[in-house]
Structure 1
Amino acid sequence: MRKQLLTIWVLFLFASIATAQEKKPMSWQDIPTWKYMQGNSFRVSPDGQWIAYAIVASEADGELILKKLSEPDSLAKSFPIGSTTFPSIQFSDDSKWIAFKEYPKFSQRQANKGPRSKPLRDKLSLLELGTDEKKTFENVISFSFNNEQASQLAINLAKDGNSKARGSDLLIYHLNADKSQNIGNVTEFRFNKSGSHLAYVVDAANKTGNGIYLMDMASNSTQILDSDDAAYKFINWTEKGEAFAALKMVEDKKYKQPHGKVVGVKNLKKPQITLYDAQKDTTGFDQSYTISGNRRPMWSEDLTRLFYGIHPLELVKKPSPKKELDKDSMKLAQAKAVEKIMADTSLKSIADLQKAIAKVDAKKGKPKKKANVDQPDMTIWHWNDSRLQSRQQVTERQDKNYSMWAMYDVASAKHTALQDESMKSLSIFPKHLYAIGSDNQNYELDINLDGQRYSDFYLVDLKTGTRKELFTKFYLPSFWSNPSPSTDGTKFIYAEDGHYFVHDIIKGSTTNITENLPVTFVDVEDDHNVEKPMVGVLGWSSDSKYVLLRDGWDIWQVPLQGKAKPVNLTQNGRKEGIRYQYRFGLDPEEKGIDLTKTVYLRTYGEWNKKSGVATLSPTKKSGLKPGATSLIWEDANIGNLRKAKNADVVFFGKQTFNTPPEMFMTDLSLSSPKQVTKNTPDADKYAWSEGTQLVDYVTDKGDSLQGALFLPANYEKGKKYPTVVYYYEKLSQTRHNWSNPSFGGTGWNPTMYTSNGYAVFIPDIVYKLDDPGMSAVWAVLPAVKAAIATGVIDADNIGIHGHSWGGYQTSFLITQTDMFKAAAAGAPLTNMVSMYDLIYWNSGGGNMSIFEASQGRFRGAPWENWDSYLRNSPVYHVKKVNTPLLMLHNDKDGAVDFTQGIEYYSALRRLKKPVVLVQYKGENHGLRKLENRKDYSVRMMEFFDHHLKGHKAPDWLDKGINKLDLKEHLEKRSF
């Protein structure tokens, strides 16, 4: 008997080993059909009883999973949704219905490719929860339940291709009555918050019946609020849903833009309509302007004023009138000319006659016939341009559509312009009593040259429109220095010279709220060359009596009045290396931080990379109790905390490097969480990383840093593995991040490399000014040596890879060390001198500001700092390169100019160093087209497989591919 049991156990053991060995590395060819949970698709019904999420694939059909949380997983339902990576799913507010889109199948999309392809239409599925009854609607563009009432579903249908109308059919489906009604030619529709009313715009052929309409959903009655030969747009309900504003645009052939009018509607039972026609306001409105069709109008919170945009009118240029010709004088002159030519006996040929006629015409001043001459297509770059011409080209549309805020007081029928050309920006505060205006025109040229930002700030009274100067040439080292309003809109916080200040608008007083605190709120870890950038504010309390500040570790509660003193709420952050990073807002409608309720915070361990959720509890009085309570603290990435709208049911996400994101359900205590999703259904077929390790090291400049070491699949302790080192400034915090197998825009995917037997090491880099390249040397080399000491890495088979700034680090590192057997650099900066003067084409701005106040980290221009620029430029050290290099650089790269790649490639080629440059025509800084992302992902792994694993080099890497053979080469490799 014992022998039989032993035999069975051995057989079971071998079977288990065989099963484990059956798990294969994931190949790039597996990715197109790889299914995963699209993270943004996770939905919770308002009552917390149902969840829905989508499982999708890049080149296969997806499905929607619908699950009642009180039932076993086996009863979850699946519905096909076709081919999409951006599913659309919505629960009704009463938790009785779910609606979701069904997209064309992948096979349909493939068959429909080509010049004669027809638009494929989406479907909409509507399901009553708890039943099997599903209703389908064809040709759907968008849909929406009527919010809180949840009695109707509005469905915007696809426009008929032959229709000249701008609008299309809007289907109103009555959920309880199972009846539909159709409204034609609708271009825009919006329900108010309660769902009691629907506002919509009609735009028909020939503008017949154009107008703005209001439907009462309970009585199913419709009112015409305004109708005209005009275009209506931008319905904007107030937050409470008791009123809305819209625009009415009337064409005028004299101007390039239509004349705008503002429509304000309130008192929905008996609609009270305000129509402000700026054209008729000849005394209050500058008639060289009009109301802009580029800014959405809105009511003030107290419904006394309408806010809208204005911009200058531009006349249509009329062609110059042709001059009347004196025909009698022309005939006389022509007769005399002919008479003179006929008397000329020297003319011997037709050619002589033609010359004589031309000579006479010239003397008489008759113009020669001009061919149609095209105007030059050119740009004038002037040294005094505050913005580069390239930047102006990028922002041309934005500049054309620019509008300035204005308001209309309904009671006084008065228009007030809130901005003019001397104040280009305006930020309206909550409650609509005040606004902050800003303008940087006086400093714009210098900002674009050296990157140091300044602005003038103004306080604007939104009752009167009066403006008061606050700050002149105010320094903005980071976003958090900008004025930010309190919840009640009567105060604002800003930062100056390393401190936070609060200005009380009504009192006119300003208080330094951090000067007496024992910690600094300057971001001391920011190594860019700006002065005293700040750590971000956590937020204002809902009663505007407190500000919650972060010092990088802990959270401080700072009172703005009374005898209360600032309090360190979290207390243990700095002591224990825990960063209290941000707050989870569980109520999407809250205003400020409600200190009478428990506050949920995201926590992160700086040195152990753990994460979790902690809470702060309210006191009996206003304010929070000191001392945070940790509810979750794990070796995982915890986040995405959310609550069901109408129930105390809470969900959060959890992932690690080798386990994909899943959602968990719990209560407000976050105790006993239960997994409710099933991500990556095919994951068990493949081999994944065995886990991660943290590697501590000290840079050559004495900084203590960490790197994340990701173990390969089927890792065996004591065995050394080929390794790819990847970096981009600080990334060790990604230790617990799942990287979904996919074709990235840079070819890199750490999950794919660990699945295929590589270790991956991601070290942190900190920077010293004037040495961005050397900083990588000082950080990465000690990091890799420390990682080698773990016994995981094969020191003889290490590759490095980075893209963009990481590509620069790669290009530079191989000029300083032979530690690496192979290197792959994507879109690298290679010549800091020439790069300084080039254009960042994606934004149109110059690189010099990036070099002097951002990632470049240089003090001054090259001509002021030659040694630093040359010392840190890979191309000037190219003779020392011995590492085979694969480069990706595209000809339309709008971030790092293609010439940077060409410079480095050409220099290496001149020295006969092993380098291959891969260029994808028309692509930008990263790869966008799927076929290109596939191709480069495979090539980069082939490159590392050859150099680090000893695989045979493919032809493209070994010998290159001639242009005439390229088409056949690509056809063989495509999948």
Structure 2
Amino acid sequence: MTLACLAAISQQKALTIKDYPKWSRIVTPTISNDGKWFAYAHRPNGGDDTLIIKNLDAEKQYKVKFAQSPRFSEDSKWVTYTTKPSKEEDKKLKKNKKPAFNTAWVMNLETGEKSAVERVESSTLSAGLNYFAVLRKKPTEDNSKHEGKDLILRKLADGTITNIGNVSNYAFNKKGTLLAYTVDADGKSGNGVYLLTLATGELKTLDTDTLKYEKISWDDDNALRKDWALKGKSLAVLKGSARDTTLHKINSLVVFTNVGTPAYKKQIFTTQSLNALPKEMIISENREVSFSEDGTSVFFGIRQQEQKIKMSKDTVANVDVWHWKDDYIQSVQMRRAEQNKKFTFLCAVDLNTENFSKLADESLRQIITSRHSIYAVGRDEKPYLNDVNWGVSPADLYRINLKDGSRQLFAKNVNRPLGGSPDGRYYLYQLDSSLYVVDLTSNKVTNVSKAAPVKFMNMEHPYPHEKPPFGVEGWIKDGKGVIVNHKYDLWLLALDGSKATNLTGGLGDKQEIHFTYVSLDPLEEFVDLKKPITLYAYGEWTKKTGFYSLAPGKTPVAIIYEDRAFSTPLKALNADRIVFNSQ
């Protein structure tokens, strides 16, 4: 394993206000997949970023002023970044009421050759065939009302450039073989969803209409890299239009499955066709569209339609009316006004049966989905809204069936939820100083901390509400335990509640060192305790920091532990090389 460290060395001297601009920090560090290139932005206080792109195996380095957001290509041969006007230039543009445009760049790391696209609104790199896509903002003099803009698509291998006009949204699938985009053209001519096969250049029209398309989403948007090959074949989008008599757009959900294959299918779900959709409810564009983990369901939001009311110009609302029985006090209502205007209730449609399920409602407004394709967790805060709560939001927790919307209560008055396992099967929370896990497949609740001789609640926490837990570090690979923090040490709690093991052997308590887990695998879901793991260490009183190695069944051993601060390490995807900085 190769380590690369960027160090900032301080000297003992008195600091003055004149020294402030000299201070700088490293931001947006990233490493190429092959571990040969490292990029970061050097940011002085109050100054402009300078992007450093460094070859870790050779004396080659590129510096780019006013640059940020570096990203390496999948094959580690290219880097993209964005430049923007300097702070001084930005002030001048604002003073003259002129827009400040950013520029997207792509650089060949071997030759240093680079090319730019101006007026960038967004940009992204595809995997696989390595395409660089840049959506441009409209020119200043363009006053057209349609949202379509130029999408510049560059093939990195040969520099071929394609300009696709009137694009409003675009997205590659994760493996980088397909590009889906929506068109919003002047006069709505050509509005639709289009699919470009990058290997062949074949362009297919998936759907066209005079409506507005938005919220494009692939079934692999949240997929793990190991699942990319099996996914990226289905996408969903909303299309709709506004009416003069109603406040909100009327949308339809359009889903395309198995695109580019003989099993291709298009399904359109309208307000009228969704069975069990409550009356006066509509599909809303205020929530993103997404697929379930197994790709058989699509999630979206609905809201109540409202009629437009014609108001006299002389009728101006200037009084806020509230009641002492309102769920929230007036100050909270005012602060959340804009958020509440865009709130939607999460719903799902099963693509196989076309059955609609309303998952959220007024009493259960928050649904926490995960990689579990059948169950989610719902939070009902209503029973506790009138209680005096300092820094916590108590709620009753429910298991939600994503296929039919049914719910089962598994915990009441939970102040401290701690989240779910990577596969979504388990959900961890604190209740009355103990830690509990619910198995969503069975709705069985287990006290996983009962075998531990210590409490995992931070009793030194100073605020007048339920004390918080120390935290969660990860779920182990065999699916039988969860790693949690105590004040200093790490503990492994069996999910059946039968056992609690101090993983760090009490070294943390003995030396007053806080240990936390550091993942060195970019693809890691679960912690593999059958192999040595790396820990970050912080001395409570010495303020030293560093890294320890913990082998199975052993006591942690220091790798480096010094009077300096270390950043979180970054590991290359396909190489045994780690980078971090220290100061």
TM-score greater than 0.5 by the shorter chain:
yes
Q: Which of residues 358, 363, 379 is equivalent to 1:438?
A: 379
Partner residue in 2 for 1:334: none
1:49 aligns with 2:46: no
Residues 637, 88 of structure 1: alpha-carbon distance in 2 compared, 3 angstrom cutoff: same
Asked whether the 8 Å contact 1:274–1:410 carries over to 2, the reply is no
CA distance in 2, matches of 1:509, 1:184: 54
Partner residue in 2 for 1:794: none
Residues 611, 256 of structure 1: alpha-carbon distance in 2 compared, 3 angstrom cutoff: same
Per-residue CA deviations over 1:201-256 (Å, capped at 9, x if unaligned) read 21112222111221111112221211112222222222234233222223233321
Residues 153, 437 of structure 1: alpha-carbon distance in 2 compared, 3 angstrom cutoff: same
| SS class of match (1:387) | coil
Partner residue in 2 for 1:467: 407
Per-residue CA deviations over 1:48-88 (Å, capped at 9, x if unaligned) read 1011222344665543222211123xx42323x33x7xx12
CA distance in 2, matches of 1:419, 1:191: 30
| SS class of match (1:280) | coil
Please identify, of 408-417 and 492-501, the stretch whose mean Cα deviation from structure 2 is larger: 492-501
Measure how far apart 1:97 and its partner are.
Answer: 0.7
Asked whether the 8 Å contact 2:213–2:237 carries over to 1, the reply is yes
Measure how far apart 1:388 and its partner are.
Answer: 1.9
Q: Which of residues 630, 651, 659 is equivalent to 2:579?
A: 651
CA distance in 2, matches of 1:501, 1:308: 30
Q: Which of residues 612, 616, 638 is equivalent to 2:566?
A: 638
Residues 299, 498 of structure 1: alpha-carbon distance in 2 compared, 3 angstrom cutoff: same
| SS class of match (2:372) | helix
1:384 aligns with 2:328: no
Residues 553, 107 of structure 1: alpha-carbon distance in 2 compared, 3 angstrom cutoff: closer
Measure how far apart 1:504 and its partner are.
Answer: 2.5
Q: Which of residues 478, 483, 491 is equivalent to 1:556?
A: 491
Q: Which of residues 440, 449, 460 is equivalent to 1:505?
A: 440
- The aligned amino acid for 1:134 is K
Measure how far apart 1:200 and its partner are.
Answer: 1.4
Q: Which of residues 437, 445, 454 is equivalent to 1:519?
A: 454
Residues 25, 125 of structure 1: alpha-carbon distance in 2 compared, 3 angstrom cutoff: farther
- The aligned amino acid for 1:309 is G
Equivalent pairs: percent with the same residue?
A: 32
| SS class of match (2:302) | strand
Asked whether the 8 Å contact 2:566–2:582 carries over to 1, the reply is yes
Measure how far apart 1:524 and its partner are.
Answer: 1.7
1:77 aligns with 2:65: no
- The aligned amino acid for 1:188 is N
Asked whether the 8 Å contact 2:397–2:414 carries over to 1, the reply is no
CA distance in 2, matches of 1:313, 1:139: 37
Partner residue in 1 for 2:538: 604
Q: Which structure's residues are more often helix, by fraction?
A: 1
Q: Which structure's residues are more often strand, by fraction?
A: 2
Asked whether the 8 Å contact 2:147–2:168 carries over to 1, the reply is yes
Q: Which of residues 112, 121, 124 is equivalent to 1:144?
A: 124
| SS class of match (2:410) | strand
1:65 aligns with 2:32: no
Residues 512, 107 of structure 1: alpha-carbon distance in 2 compared, 3 angstrom cutoff: closer
CA distance in 2, matches of 1:459, 1:493: 13
- The aligned amino acid for 1:382 is H
TM-score (normalizing by structure 2)? 0.89
- The aligned amino acid for 1:600 is T
Instruction: List runs of 5+ in structure 1 lacking aligned partners.
Output: 1-22, 321-371, 618-623, 656-975
Measure how far apart 1:578 and its partner are.
Answer: 1.3
Q: Which of residues 493, 501, 517 is equivalent to 1:583?
A: 517
Matched ranges for 1:671-750 at <5 A: none
| SS class of match (1:393) | helix
| SS class of match (1:165) | coil
Partner residue in 2 for 1:960: none
Measure how far apart 1:536 and its partner are.
Answer: 1.3
Per-residue CA deviations over 1:596-629 (Å, capped at 9, x if unaligned) read 4443221111121111112333xxxxxx434223
Measure how far apart 1:376 and its partner are.
Answer: 5.0
Per-residue CA deviations over 1:495-528 (Å, capped at 9, x if unaligned) read 2111112223334433222222111212122122
| SS class of match (1:245) | strand
- The aligned amino acid for 2:300 is Y
Asked whether the 8 Å contact 1:612–1:639 carries over to 2, the reply is no
Measure how far apart 1:186 and its partner are.
Answer: 1.4
Residues 200, 577 of structure 1: alpha-carbon distance in 2 compared, 3 angstrom cutoff: same
- C-alpha RMSD of the superposition: 2.7
CA distance in 2, matches of 1:174, 1:549: 46
Residues 389, 423 of structure 1: alpha-carbon distance in 2 compared, 3 angstrom cutoff: same
Partner residue in 2 for 1:310: 302
Instruction: List runs of 5+ in structure 2 lacking aligned partners.
Output: 1-11
Measure how far apart 1:396 and its partner are.
Answer: 0.8
Please identify, of 138-147 and 594-603, the stretch whose mean Cα deviation from structure 2 is larger: 594-603
Asked whether the 8 Å contact 1:430–1:485 carries over to 2, the reply is no
Measure how far apart 1:641 and its partner are.
Answer: 1.0
1:36 aligns with 2:27: no
Partner residue in 1 for 2:192: 211
1:457 aligns with 2:397: yes
- The aligned amino acid for 2:62 is K
Residues 187, 591 of structure 1: alpha-carbon distance in 2 compared, 3 angstrom cutoff: same
Asked whether the 8 Å contact 2:399–2:409 carries over to 1, the reply is yes
Q: Which of residues 82, 98, 114 is equivalent to 1:134?
A: 114
Measure how far apart 1:381 and its partner are.
Answer: 4.0
Higher Cα Rg, which structure: 1
- The aligned amino acid for 2:559 is L
| SS class of match (2:348) | strand
| SS class of match (2:89) | helix
Per-residue CA deviations over 1:274-306 (Å, capped at 9, x if unaligned) read 434232326432231011211111111212111
Q: Which of residues 347, 354, 360 is equivalent to 1:419?
A: 360
Asked whether the 8 Å contact 1:616–1:627 carries over to 2, the reply is yes
Q: Which of residues 82, 93, 109 is equivalent to 1:101?
A: 82
Partner residue in 2 for 1:246: 237
CA distance in 1, matches of 2:45, 2:328: 41
1:295 aligns with 2:280: no
Asked whether the 8 Å contact 2:74–2:130 carries over to 1, the reply is no
Asked whether the 8 Å contact 1:447–1:454 carries over to 2, the reply is no
Per-residue CA deviations over 1:408-458 (Å, capped at 9, x if unaligned) read 11121111111221211111132222111111123212246x666432221
Partner residue in 2 for 1:153: 132
Asked whether the 8 Å contact 1:174–1:180 carries over to 2, the reply is yes
CA distance in 1, matches of 2:299, 2:89: 47
For this pair of structures, how many residues does the alignment match?
Answer: 559
| SS class of match (1:40) | strand
Q: Which of residues 253, 266, 271 is equivalent to 1:279?
A: 271
Partner residue in 2 for 1:261: 252
Measure how far apart 1:258 and its partner are.
Answer: 0.9
Asked whether the 8 Å contact 1:553–1:577 carries over to 2, the reply is yes
Q: Which of residues 425, 428, 431 is equivalent to 1:496?
A: 431
1:122 aligns with 2:122: no
Measure how far apart 1:30 and its partner are.
Answer: 6.2
Asked whether the 8 Å contact 2:357–2:403 carries over to 1, the reply is no
TM-score (normalizing by structure 1)? 0.54
| SS class of match (2:338) | helix
Partner residue in 1 for 2:504: 570
1:88 aligns with 2:49: no
Per-residue CA deviations over 1:632-657 (Å, capped at 9, x if unaligned) read 211111222110121110112211xx
Please identify, of 528-537 and 58-67, the stretch whose mean Cα deviation from structure 2 is larger: 58-67
Per-residue CA deviations over 1:564-617 (Å, capped at 9, x if unaligned) read 74321101111121111x322333443232334443221111121111112333
Per-residue CA deviations over 1:5-63 (Å, capped at 9, x if unaligned) read xxxxxxxxxxxxxxxxxx9976545655x4734x3232211111011222344665543
1:403 aligns with 2:344: yes
Per-residue CA deviations over 1:740-760 (Å, capped at 9, x if unaligned) read xxxxxxxxxxxxxxxxxxxxx
